[in-house]
Structure 1
Amino acid sequence: MSADRELLKALLDALDVPLAEQADDDQARARLLDVRVSHAVIALESVLKHGPEDVEDSARWLREETAKRPVTYTPWERPDPKTSCSKCRTVFDPADTRHDGHDRHGDGPFCRRCIDRCHESTDAFHACVICDPSWGETR
């Protein structure tokens, strides 16, 4: 792999910080991302200042710094749409057939509760992955 591609890969690895599973971990994610962004800027500034001969050293340094600060929180994992709701991530419960229960709504990826809450919304600016599937793709 070329030195340029190595640096790009190191930048991607440093900046691709996964979302946190718990809201309490959002601050830990933000702090980690802040440090890694600073290191990425330093690596890029070094390449711009010293030229192409510094690309390999910058990539190596950035990888070392990234390795010193691993993800310490539990990363969010996309739910399995076959077994759980794609919005609230609750495992489908076929026994809970109430209109606002946790059974799957039809053949879709959402539970009855999320569908019920979405359709009850009175907010004129309401947008979610249920009423507008493209909304979730940009977030």
Structure 2
Amino acid sequence: MGQARFGYAFPGQASSNYRDAMGNQIGSYAYFNPEGKEVRVSYTADHRGFRVLSNDLPVAPVANLVAPVQVPDTMEVAQAKAAHMAAHVEARAALAAARAASKAPAASEAAPAAPVAPVASDAAPAAETVPVTTA
């Protein structure tokens, strides 16, 4: 790339720009807008992108946001929730009663000990290892 510097001035407007050997640019310009206001802009363009400062940048409108409110339950929904909870409690109680009535052994009870098999006293003799030779 190369370095460059240029600029101009004309009644009602002006500009200047500098580019370094790496392609980074720094510059500014000014002009009078149709309403007669002087607009000044300074910018930088480099590895972090194009960034601009100005006295005439647009401003986003302010959003008047309100957090949503939960809709209250109607009488029918409240009654259905209460009936569902009562049925759930009743089902859990019935399950607990059925488990107690079946008298199944609890998982924590130990299983009966298995009988011990006798150990053979006449074990086979250990095999001898023979070295392998190559001819």
Q: Shorter-chain TM-score category? A: under 0.3
Q: Higher relative CO (CA 8 A, sep ≥ 6), structure 1 or 2?
A: 1
Structure having the larger proportion of residues in helix: 1
Larger Rg: 2
Query: When the two structures are superposed, what TM-score results if normalisation uses the length of structure 1?
Result: 0.22
Query: When the two structures are superposed, what TM-score results if normalisation uses the length of structure 2?
Result: 0.22
Structure having the larger proportion of residues in strand: 2
